[in-house]
Structure 1
Amino acid sequence: MRAGETVARRVSLRIGGMSLPMPSARPARTAADVRRWRRYLADERAEAAVYRDLAGRRTGEERDILLALAAAEGRHEQHWLDLLGDDAGRPLRGDLRTRVLGWLARRFGGVFVLALAQRAESRSAYGQDVDATPAMAADEQIHEEVVRGLATRGRNRLSGTFRAAVFGANDGLVSNLALVLGIGASGAAQQTVLLTGLAGLLAGALSMGAGEFISIRSQRELLEASTPAPSAARALPHLDVDANELALVYRARGMAAGDAQRHADQVLTRLAVAGTTSGATPADLHASHAAEEAAGVAPDDADDLETHGTAWGAAISSFCFFASGAVIPVIPYLFGLHGTTAVVVAAALVGIALLATGAVTGLLSGTSPLTRAARQLAIGYAAAAVTYLLGLAFGTTLA
C-alpha cells in the first residue's frame, strides 16, 4: 500500500471471543496535502543544489561538509517522493528565497550566502508538520548548526574589517546628517550648510580611520605581548628536569599545580626523547586550551589576530565607509537644494542607507534583517531629530 493511501475500513481482531477494532489508517490525502508535499520536494531539491554549488567553490573539509548536507537534503527529497508517488508530477521551482540563495551561491559563494542558508535552515516547518518525520526535523536543526559553523569561519575572517566598515558607514550617515540638519535648521545659508557637511565628512573620516588604526594596532600589540617568546622555547631542552620550572609557566597561565607539573613532565620528556632543540616551539609554553580559557587567556593568538584584522585594513575601510556614508546627507546641498526640501531629501536618502546597512548586518549575523534595519533607522533618526530641534531652537534664539 502506498504511503499516504487511505483505508476506510476497520479490521477486527478476535482475542478470546472479543472483537477489537484496529486503529484507523491515516485520513485520505487531500489536494492541499499534495500541494504542500510538492512544495517541500521542490525546496529540498533547491537547497541540495545550493549546497552543491557552494561545495563547487570550496576545497577540502568545507567541500566535504557541504556535499554531506546536499546528500541529507536528498534523503528528505526521497521522503516526499515516496509520499507523493504518482502525484509527484513535473518538478516545481523552489520558493523565491531558495532560488535567490541558489543564484548567489553560483556567483559568489561567500559568507553572505552561508548566512542566508543558515537563516533558511532555521525556518524549517518540519517540526510542526505531521507528514515530516522527527528525524527530518532534527536534521534541519542540526543543519542550521553545521552552516552556522561554516559561516562562523567566514565571519571571523572578515569581522575586523567588516566591523570598521559598518561602524564607519553608520557613523558617517548619522553624524553628518545630524550636523547638516542642525546647521540647516538654524537658518544658515545653503553654502554654509554645504561647507559644514563637507568639513564634517573629511574630519570624521580622518578621525575614524586614525581611531581604528590605533585601536587595532594596540589590540594586536597586546595579543603579541601574551605570545610566548621563541627564545624561551629554545631554552626548554636545557631545563633541569628535576626542578622543571616549566610547570611555573603553566601555573602562571591558569593551570592547577598538579596538572601543570604533569604537563611540564610530558613536554620535557618528549623533548628529551627527540634529543634536539628543534622540537621545541612557543606552543610548548602554552597551558592546555581548557586551562587558558578558564583563566581568560586566548589559546590561539593567531586566530585572534585574524579576527581583529589588520590595522591598515581597518583604518582604510573605516575612512572609506565613513566618507561614503557622510556624503549622502550632503548630496541635496551639492545639487543646490536648500531649506525644508533639502532636509527632507537628506533624511530620506540617509534612511534608505540605514535600512540597507542594518539589513546587511542582520543577514551576516544570522538575525532578522528587518529587525536590524528598523533598529538602525530608529537610532539614526533619533540622533538627527535631536540636533535638528536644537538647530531650530538656536536659530530662533539668534534671530
Structure 2
Amino acid sequence: MTGSVVDEQPQRAQVRRWRRYLAEERAEAAVYTQLAARREGEEREILLALASAEGRHAAHWEQLLGDQVGRQRPPSLRSRLLISLARRFGSVFVLALAQRAEGRSEYAGDDHATPAMAADERIHEEVVRSLAMRGRARMSGTFRAAVFGMNDGLVSNLALVLGIGASGVGTTAVLVAGVAGLLAGALSMGAGEYVSVRSQRELLEASTPSPQAHAAVGDLDVNANELALVYRARGMSAEDAQARAEERLATYNPTVPPRRVAPHSLEEIGSAWHAALSSFAFFASGAIIPVLPYLFGLTGLTAVALASGMVGLALVVTGAAVGVLSGASPTRRALRQLAIGWGAAGVTYLLGLAFGTTVA
C-alpha cells in the first residue's frame, strides 16, 4: 500500500466500495477455510495459504477505512452461497465457482488496490484452477458418463416420444414407444460402457511386462544383453537402453515380483460393471422424464408441452453443471444444451407430423 493513493477524507462512494471489498475478502477467506477443513495434506495447506492471503487483502481495506469500517457488511449472495456450499460439500464444483469469483476481481482497475493485490487475485485464480483440475481429473470419467448418459436419455427419448406422438397414433402407442426407447437405450448404453471400460483394462494389462520375462532376466547373457532390445523397443535410444539394461541386471532380484500395472491407472479406468450400471441408470433417469406425462394419462399438446418443459429444465440443469465444473459460464452452457435438445426433438416432431399427414 502506498500513501499517495489514500484520501484523507474518502468520499461516500469510495467508502461503500471499500466496505464491499472488505466483505468479499472476508467471505473468500471463509470459503477457503471451509474447503481446507474438508481436505488433508498439501491441498489443505494451499487452501489455508489462500485464506491467509485474502486476510491480508481484508486488512488493507480495514486500514484504508480506519474508523469508517462500520458494522460488518454481509457479502454478496454469491459469496454467501459459496460459503454454505464449501461448509457442506467442499466439492470440485465449489472450487470451480471460486475460480470464477477470483477471475472477476476489480483490483486491476482500482487505484486504491495495490499492484500486488491485483497480481495476487490473478495468481489465486490459477491456483484454484489447478486445485479444481485435480478434482476434475478424479471425477472426469463418472461425470462424463453421467452427463452423456442423462442427456442422451433426455434428448433421444423426447425426440422419440414427440415424433411418434406427432404421427397421430394413440397415447398407448406413444407410452409403449417411450418405455421401449428407455429400456433399449439404457441397455445399449450399459453394454457399450461395459465393453469400452473392459477393453481399456485389457489393453492396459496387455501392455505391462509379463512375469515370465521378469523371471528370465537372471539367466540373460550379460555380454549379449538382450534386455537392451526391450528398452529400445519401448522407445529408448541405443545408449540409454544399454545403460538401463546394465542397471537392471546389476540390481535384479528374482524374489521381487514385477509391477504388473500402475494401480492408479486401473483405478482411473474403474470397474466395467460399475460403469455399465451407472450408464444404465443415468440414461434411464433422463429417458423417463419425457414419458412421465403419458404415464399419468395426459394426451395431445398438453403432454407434449409438459414433456418438453420438463426435459428443457433438466437440460438446463445439466448444462449449467457442466459450465460450473469447467469454470465457464453456466448460463451459456445451459442455453446451448437446451438449444441442442429442443432442436433435435423439434426436428423429429416435425418429421412425425409430416409422416402422419402422408399416411393419412
What is the TM-score of this pair, normalised by structure 1? 0.83
Q: Is the 8 A contact 2:315 2:334 kept in 1?
A: yes
Give the superposition deviation at 1:85.
1.9
Structure 1 residues 138 and 232 mapped into 2: Cα distance closer, same or farther (>3 Å)? Answer: farther
Deviates more, 1:323-332 or 1:301-310: 301-310
Change (3 A) 1:260 1:133: farther
CA distance 1:278–1:151, change in 2 (3 Å):
farther
Unaligned residue ranges in structure 1 (runs of 5+):
8-27, 284-299
Letter aligned with residue 252 of structure 1: A
* 1:66 paired to 2:43: no
Equivalent residues, number: 359
Q: What's 2:209 paired with?
A: 228
- Note the C-alpha offset of 1:372: 1.1
Note the 1:268-347 alignment, pairs <5 A: 268-269=249-250, 271=251, 276-278=253-255, 281-282=258-259, 301-347=262-308
- Tell me which of 325, 330, 333 is aligned to 1:372: 333
Give, in angstroms, the shift of residue 42 of structure 1: 1.1
Mapped pair 1:108 → 2:85: no
Partners of 1:127 and 1:236 in 2: CA distance: 62
Q: How far off its partner does 1:181 sit? A: 0.3
- Give the match's secondary structure for 2:96: helix
Distance 1:338 1:73, change over 3 A: same
Alignment of 1:237-248 (within 5 A): 239-248=220-229
Larger Rg: 1
CA distance in 1, matches of 2:219, 2:126: 46
Partner of 1:21: none
* Structure 1 residue 306, shift from structure 2 partner: 3.1
Q: Which residue of 2 is the match for residue 22 of structure 1?
A: none
Structure-2 residue corresponding to 1:47: 28
Q: Is the 8 A contact 1:234 1:281 kept in 2?
A: no
The secondary structure found in structure 2 opposite 1:364 is helix
Q: Tell me, yes or no, if the aligned pair for 1:34 and 1:87 is still in contact at 8 Å.
A: yes
- Name the amino acid aligned to 1:179: L
C-alpha distance in structure 1 between counterparts of 2:276 and 2:215, whole Å: 37
Partner of 1:142: helix, strand, or coil?
Answer: helix
Q: Distance in 2 between matches of 1:82 and 1:278?
A: 67
CA contact (8 A) 1:201 1:323 kept: yes
- Residue in 2 aligned with 1:23? none
Alignment partner of 1:389 out of 350, 353, 358:
350
* CA RMSD across the alignment: 2.3
Residues 71-220 of structure 1: matches in 2 within 5 Å? Answer: 71-220=52-201
Contact in 2 for aligned 1:179/1:200 (Cα 8 Å): yes
- For residue 314 of structure 2, the aligned residue among 327, 336, 353 is 353
Taking the aligned partners of 2:168 and 2:303, their CA distance within structure 1 comes to 13
Q: Do 2:154 and 2:286's aligned partners in 1 also have CA atoms closer than 8 Å?
A: yes
C-alpha contact 1:223 1:301 (8 A) present in aligned 2: no
- Residue pair 1:50, 1:101 contacting (<8 A) in 2 also: yes
CA 1:333–1:71 in structure 2 vs 1: closer, same or farther (change >3 Å)? same
Q: Are the equivalent residues in 2 in contact too, given 1:180–1:330 (CA < 8 A)? A: yes
- Structure 1, residues 245-271: CA drift from partner, whole Å, max 9, x if none? 3333332222233333333444444x1
The one-letter code matched in structure 2 to 1:324 is S
Aligned-partner residue type, residue 13 of structure 2 = A
CA contact (8 A) 1:69 1:143 kept: yes
Residue 234 of structure 2 corresponds to which residue in structure 1? Answer: 253
In the alignment, residue 282 of structure 1 is paired with which amino acid?
A: R
1:117 and 1:235 map into 2 onto residues whose CA distance is 54
Query: What do the CA deviations read for 1:126-180 (whole angstroms, capped 9, x no partner)?
Result: 2222222222222222222222222222222222222111111001100000000
Give 3-state SS (helix, strand or coil) of 2:39's partner: coil
Distance 2:117 2:222 in 1: 56
Q: Given that residues 161 and 309 in structure 1 are in contact (C-alpha distance below 8 angstroms), is that contact kept between their aligned partners in structure 2? A: no
Shift of residue 230 of structure 1?
A: 4.2
Report the Cα offset of residue 231 of structure 1: 4.3
Which structure 2 segments of 5+ residues have no match? none
* Partner Cα separation in structure 2 for residue 99 and residue 58 of structure 1: 21
Distance 2:26 2:37 in 1: 17
Measure how far apart 1:212 and its partner are.
0.8
Whole-Å separation in 1 of the counterparts to 2:248 and 2:72 = 61
